[in-house]
Chain A
Amino acid sequence: MYDICIIGADLLGAFLAHRLSRTTAKVLWLEQEPDVARGRSSALSGYLSYNVDAKNPALTQQVIQKGITLYPDLCQDLSIPFQYTAPPYGGYVDPVTLCFALAEEAVLNQVALHLSTKVSHLAMLQNATSFFHSHCTINTTRQFFADSTPSSPAFIQLPPLTDAVFSAAPAIASHIVETLLPSTFPKKKIFLKRNPPLCLKDMIPIERNHYVHAHPEAGRIVCRCCQITEAEIMDVIRRPVGATDFEGVKKRLGIGTGLCHGSRCRTKIEALLAQEVLCTEKN
Chain B
Amino acid sequence: MHRKELVIIGAGTAGLHAALAAHKRKCRDILVLEQEPSVSISWPKLPGLTLKTEATALSLNERKQVTFTGPRVGFQQVHAEAIILATGAIPVRSDHSTSYRPDVQLCHSASITLSPSSYGPCVNEMSETSLHGVFACGDALFVHDISFSVQAESSQTGMAAARYLKEGFFRHPVFSVETSGLLTYVIPSTICPMNISETLTFTLCAAALGTQLRIFRDNMIWKELPWPSRQGQQQVTFCIHKEALLSIRYRLHFELK
Binding site for B on A (CB under 8 A): 205, 208-213, 216-221, 224-225, 227, 229, 259-264
Kindly provide the distance from the CB of B176 to the nearest chain A CB, expressed in whole angstroms: 24
**Which of chain A's residues have a CB closer than 8 A to the CB of B54?**
219-220
**Which of chain B's residues have a CB closer than 8 A to the CB of A229?**
69
A205 & B91 in contact (Cβ 8 Å cutoff): no
A221 & B58 in contact (Cβ 8 Å cutoff): yes
Question: How far, in whole Å, are A213 and B75 apart by their CA atoms in the complex?
Answer: 8
Kindly provide the distance from the CB of A271 to the nearest chain B CB, expressed in whole angstroms: 15
- 5 closest Cβ contacts across the A-B interface? A216-B71, A219-B71, A221-B56, A209-B75, A208-B75
B58 & A227 in contact (Cβ 8 Å cutoff): yes
B105 & A259 in contact (Cβ 8 Å cutoff): yes
Chain B, 91-106, CB within 8 A of any chain A CB: 91-93, 98, 101, 104-105
List 16 A–B pairs whose Cβ atoms lie within 8 Å, in order of A's numbering: A205-B75, A208-B69, A208-B75, A212-B71, A218-B71, A219-B70, A219-B73, A220-B54, A220-B71, A221-B69, A227-B58, A260-B90, A263-B91, A263-B98, A264-B90, A264-B91
B56 & A224 in contact (Cβ 8 Å cutoff): yes
Kindly provide the distance from the CB of B225 to the nearest chain A CB, expressed in whole angstroms: 36
Question: How far, in whole Å, are A209 and B104 apart by their CA atoms in the complex?
Answer: 25
Size class of B's contact patch? 20 to 34
Q: Mark B51-81, 1 if CB is under 8 A from A, else 0.
A: 0001010100000000101111111110000
Q: Which residue of A lies closest to B70 (CB)?
A: A219
Binding site for A on B (CB under 8 A): 35, 54, 56, 58, 67, 69-77, 90-93, 98, 101, 104-105
Q: Which residue of A lies closest to B77 (CB)?
A: A205
A263 & B105 in contact (Cβ 8 Å cutoff): no
**Which of chain B's residues have a CB closer than 8 A to the CB of A220?**
54, 70-71
Question: How far, in whole Å, are A259 and B67 apart by their CA atoms in the complex?
Answer: 20
B72 & A219 in contact (Cβ 8 Å cutoff): yes
Q: Which residue of B lies closest to A203 (CB)?
A: B75
Contacts A220-B54, A221-B56, A221-B69 given; does A209 touch B92 at CB 8 Å: no
A259 & B71 in contact (Cβ 8 Å cutoff): no
**Which of chain A's residues have a CB closer than 8 A to the CB of B69?**
208, 212, 219, 221, 229
| CB-contact partner of B35 in A211, A221, A261, under 8 A | A221
Kindly provide the distance from the CB of B99 to the nearest chain A CB, expressed in whole angstroms: 10
Contacts A219-B74, A221-B69, A224-B35 given; 9 further ones with Cβ under 8 A? Answer: A219-B69, A219-B72, A220-B70, A259-B101, A259-B104, A260-B90, A260-B93, A262-B93, A263-B92
Q: Which residue of B lies closest to A210 (CB)?
A: B74
**Which of chain A's residues have a CB closer than 8 A to the CB of B91?**
260, 263-264
Q: Which residue of B lies closest to A266 (CB)?
A: B93
**Which of chain B's residues have a CB closer than 8 A to the CB of A216?**
71-72
Q: Which residue of A lies closest to B98 (CB)?
A: A263
Q: Which residue of B lies closest to A229 (CB)?
A: B69
A212 & B75 in contact (Cβ 8 Å cutoff): yes
Kindly provide the distance from the CB of A264 to the nearest chain B CB, expressed in whole angstroms: 6
Kindly provide the distance from the CB of A20 to the nearest chain B CB, expressed in whole angstroms: 42
**Which of chain A's residues have a CB closer than 8 A to the CB of B70?**
212, 219-220
Question: How far, in whole Å, are A217 and B74 apart by their CA atoms in the complex?
Answer: 10
**Which of chain A's residues have a CB closer than 8 A to the CB of B72?**
216, 219
B75 & A261 in contact (Cβ 8 Å cutoff): no
Kindly provide the distance from the CB of B70 to the nearest chain A CB, expressed in whole angstroms: 5
| CB-contact partner of B92 in A211, A212, A224, A261, under 8 A | A261
Kindly provide the distance from the CB of B41 to the nearest chain A CB, expressed in whole angstroms: 21
Question: How far, in whole Å, are A199 and B236 apart by their CA atoms in the complex?
Answer: 52
Question: How far, in whole Å, are A210 and B54 apart by their CA atoms in the complex?
Answer: 17
Question: How far, in whole Å, are A264 and B72 apart by their CA atoms in the complex?
Answer: 22
Question: How far, in whole Å, are A210 and B58 apart by their CA atoms in the complex?
Answer: 17
Contacts A205-B77, A224-B56 given; does A217 touch B71 at CB 8 Å: yes
**Which of chain B's residues have a CB closer than 8 A to the CB of A212?**
69-71, 74-75
